[in-house]
Amino acid sequence: MPRPRRMLPAGFVYHILNRANERTRIYQSARDFDSFLGLMRETSAHVPMRICAYCVMPTHWHLVLWPTVDGAISSYVHRLSTLHAMQHRRRRRSVGHGHVYQGRFRSIPVDGSRYYFNVVRYVEANPLRAGLVSRAEAWPWSSLNARMSGSTLVHPGPLGLPGNWVALVNARLKHDDLEMLRTCLSAGRPYGAARWVERTATALGLEQTLKPRGRPKQTSPMGGSNGRPASSRMAGPLVPAY
C-alpha cells in the first residue's frame, strides 16, 4: 500500500535530510560534490526553490528550503534525488545495483527566530562536527562557503543572518539545542517553540510525532497520567513565524 503524500505547504521553512543506503559514501571526489551542486541548480530551474542553506557530506546531505508553492518540496527533492541516483550509478557503472538512498527523505517544518538560526547553524557546521575541516567555512560544498563567495545558489532566507554569523557557526550549538533538533529530525516533529509545534503538528497531520517513543504510560480514569486530567489541545491559527 503506497504511503500517503506528506503535507508540505508553502509558507514554512523546512529542514530536509537524505542519506545514502546503508550510509555508504556516495561522494568520493570533488567532481562528485560539484556535480551535485550542479544538479541542485538544474532542479531549481524546473522546480523553483529558495535554498536558504545546504551542506553536502560524503554520505548524506542537508537542505533548508523555503518553498513558494504547496507541494514544491516533494517535487524538488524527488527530482534532485532521482537525477543524482542516475548520475551516481552511471559513473560507478553500477546501474541496477539497488537503491542509492536509504528511503524517503526526512523533513521538518521550522519555527522562526532562534529556531531557524539553529537549523541553519546546524546544517552549515556539519563538516566541522565531523572533523572534516577546522573551520566550517572551509568546506567547499556548503551554503556558508557559498555565501562568502557570493554564489547565487543560496537564498538570503526569511530572516537576515547576524553580522557575526561565521563566528556563530564555528562556535557550534549548545548541547540541548543540538539534541532537540536531532530528536525532531529523527521523529519528523516540527522544530520550534512548544505552542507553535503543537499547532503546526495538528495543522499538518503530524500529531503522531509528538508522542513519546516506547511503551505508553498508563493513564488514570481521569484521562491523564498520575491522576491528572489530560490537557486539551491548544487552539489557534497556524502562522509561520518569519
Q: How confident is the model at residue 81 (pLDDT cuts 50, 70, 90)?
A: confident
Res. 91 pLDDT band, cuts 50 70 90: low
Residue 83 has pLDDT above 90, yes or no: no
Residue 167, C-beta contacts closer than 8 angstroms, at least 6 positions apart: none
Closest among 45, 43, 50 to 84, alpha carbons compared: 43
Please give the Cα distance from 191 to 173 (Å, whole number). Answer: 15
Give the pLDDT band of residue 233 (cuts 50, 70, 90): very low
**pLDDT score of 236:** 42
What is the reported pLDDT for 231?
A: 38
Q: What is the mean pLDDT of residues 126-152?
A: 95
Residue-range domain boundaries for the chain: 13-205
Kindly report, residue by residue over 186-217, the tens digit of the pLDDT.
Answer: 899 999 999 999 999 998 888 888 887 655 55
Would you say residue 100 has pLDDT above 70?
A: no
Query: What is the DSSP code (8-state) at residue 23?
Result: G
Question: Which of 16, 38, 22, 29 shows the shortest CA–CA distance to 100?
Answer: 22
**85 CB burial (10 A radius; 0-12, 13-18, 19+):** middle
**Most confident of the ranges 83-87, 171-175, 232-236:** 171-175
For the domain 13-205, what is the CATH code? 3.30.70.1290
The contacts of residue 146 (CB under 8 Å, 6+ apart) are 54, 153, 154
What mean pLDDT, rounded, does the chain reach? Answer: 83
- Please state the pTM of the whole predicted model: 0.82
- Per-residue pLDDT reduced to its tens digit, 31-48: 999 999 999 999 999 999
Give residue 222's pLDDT.
45
pLDDT over 90 percentage in the chain: 59
